[in-house]
Amino acid sequence: PLSHFHKDPDSCQAFNDKILQQGFVNDEEIPMQTLQGREFHASFTTTVKHDKAGNPYFYGIVEDISKRKEAERVIQQLNIALRNRAMELESVNRELEAFSYSVSHDLRAPLRSVDGFSRILLDEYSERLDDKGRDRLNRVRAAAQRMSSLIDDLLQLSRITRTELKHHTIDLSALAGEVLEELRRNEPQRIVHCSVQTDMIAQCDAKLLRIVLVNLLGNAWKFTGKRNDACIEFGIDAHAKIPVYFVRDNGAGFDMNFAEKLFSPFQRLHSTNEFPGSGIGLATVQRVIHKHAGRIWAESEVGQGACFYFTLEPSEAL
């Protein structure tokens, strides 16, 4: 009898009553056990039939669905873990927002005071200071301004993590042209040959991709600063299976043995005396590219320039 396979007599009776009442069941899941006592989950698809004497019997299919039930249990546990993780991340984001507020207000105020009072000393008491005193005050101001710039870069890096992507059809060629024009206005005395491939269109977040190009083209501009024949190129690899964009220059370059440090915050391959910067820019670029489900990497040779490649999400890039 079927009752021998039921773990629970009550569930057995409930199953019998249900099928006798409605005449069938489809995919009815019931915990069962074998005659040897092994527990398993069964799925019944059954109808009620009658023999010649009019006695009812069940006719149908019984399927062992233990593996499926175990998979559902694992998925349920994973979903619970994901919900808990999401709650933790939400808490971390709130802490990051509080930290950003503290940085932008609590840390900026003393920096402004240091810079401001140093400037007042230079403006109003300059004649009482010797050259060494004025030099040291200028160093204090420069350090405060560098710290302020570093804070700005760190805040931008933290905001990108929390920024929601807003995909639009963007002309990357036009965007790159705008960035290069700003660089020319800031240093009109420099002669740099800039080449931007036309009609590079992508589905991406315009504000975030502008940050990418400001950093990559800005680095190319900066690291070609000691060359009289400076060249910067922004284009797309037409031979790749998916669009691969690149920014190439003929500047200082870097040793590929240290390439893994490029995208880590505060990691620099050149001294600040040689080339200024906070060491945050490429970490910010990588974070933007990753938010677009893309990749970024670089190739370079010391003294021969560098080329930075990046992709955007294949289904989104055109």
**CATH code for position 97:** 1.10.287
**CATH code for position 253:** 3.30.565.10
Asked whether residue 57 falls in the same domain as residue 79, the answer is no
Question: Helix 108-124 to helix 131-162 angle, to the nearest 10 degrees?
Answer: 160
Residue 316: inside a domain: no
Give dist(CA 82, CA 115) in Å, integer: 47
Residue 317: inside a domain: no
Residue 315: inside a domain: no
Asked whether residue 265 falls in the same domain as residue 180, the answer is yes
Q: Using the predicted structure, report yes or no on whether residue 29 has a pLDDT greater than 50.
A: yes
* Signed CA dihedral, 223, 229, 233, 237: sign only: negative
Question: pLDDT (tens digit, 9 = 90+) per residue, 225-261?
Answer: 888 899 999 999 877 788 999 999 998 888 888 777 7
Residue 318: inside a domain: no
What are the tokens at 267? Answer: 């990691």
Given strand 306-310, what is the order of strands in its sheet?
193-196, 231-237, 244-249, 306-310, 296-300
Question: pLDDT (tens digit, 9 = 90+) per residue, 123-171?
Answer: 998 888 899 999 999 999 988 887 887 777 777 777 777 778 888 899 9
Q: Using the predicted structure, report yes or no on whether residue 120 has a pLDDT greater than 50.
A: yes
Q: Over the Cα atoms of the chain, what is R_g?
A: 33
Boundary-marking domain end, from 109, 137, 162: 162
Asked whether residue 182 falls in the same domain as residue 297, the answer is yes
**Enclosing domain of residue 266:** 168-310
What are the tokens at 48? Answer: 């009620």
Residue 28: inside a domain: yes
Report the candidate in 65, 60, 59, 78 with the shortest Cα–Cα distance to residue 30. 65
- Note whether 246 and 196 are within 8 A (CB): no
The larger pLDDT score, comparing residue 106 to residue 205, is at: 205
Q: Using the predicted structure, report yes or no on whether residue 195 has a pLDDT greater than 90.
A: yes
Given strand 56-64, what is the order of strands in its sheet?
24-33, 39-50, 56-64
Residue with the two structure tokens 């920096």: 111
Give dist(CA 111, CA 83) in Å, integer: 41
Question: pLDDT (tens digit, 9 = 90+) per residue, 199-222?
Answer: 999 999 998 999 999 999 999 999
Cα-based distances in Å from 278 to 218, 267, 269, 282: 13, 9, 12, 10
Residue 30: inside a domain: yes
Phi-psi region of 264 (alpha: psi -120 to 50; beta: other; left: phi over 0): beta
Give dist(CA 6, CA 11) in Å, integer: 7
Asked whether residue 266 falls in the same domain as residue 204, the answer is yes
What are the tokens at 127? Answer: 């004649």
Q: Using the predicted structure, report yes or no on whether residue 94 has a pLDDT greater than 80.
A: no
Asked whether residue 140 falls in the same domain as residue 110, the answer is yes
* Pair type for strands 168-171 and 24-33: unpaired
Boundary-marking domain end, from 111, 145, 162: 162
What's the CA dihedral at 278, 280, 281, 283 to 10 degrees?
160
Give dist(CA 204, CA 132) in Å, integer: 52
Asked whether residue 37 falls in the same domain as residue 118, the answer is no
Backbone dihedral angles phi then psi of residue 191, each to the nearest 5 degrees: -110, 110
What are the tokens at 169? Answer: 């059809």
- Note whether 182 and 299 are within 8 A (CB): no
The number of folded domains in the chain is 3
- Amino acid letter, residue 34: T
What pairs with residue 24 in β-bridges?
A: 47
Asked whether residue 56 falls in the same domain as residue 78, the answer is no
Boundary-marking domain end, from 162, 180, 207: 162
Asked whether residue 305 falls in the same domain as residue 260, the answer is yes
Asked whether residue 102 falls in the same domain as residue 217, the answer is no
- Note whether 268 and 231 are within 8 A (CB): no
Q: State percent of the chain over pLDDT 90.
A: 33
Give dist(CA 59, CA 45) in Å, integer: 9
Give dist(CA 101, CA 67) in Å, integer: 50
Asked whether residue 217 falls in the same domain as residue 269, the answer is yes
Q: Using the predicted structure, report yes or no on whether residue 268 has a pLDDT greater than 80.
A: no
Lowest mean pLDDT among 1-15, 19-33, 280-294: 1-15
Asked whether residue 50 falls in the same domain as residue 97, the answer is no
Question: pLDDT (tens digit, 9 = 90+) per residue, 64-79?
Answer: 888 998 999 999 999 9
Cα-based distances in Å from 6 to 43, 66, 226, 271: 12, 15, 84, 76
Asked whether residue 31 falls in the same domain as residue 150, the answer is no
Q: Using the predicted structure, report yes or no on whether residue 316 has a pLDDT greater than 50.
A: no
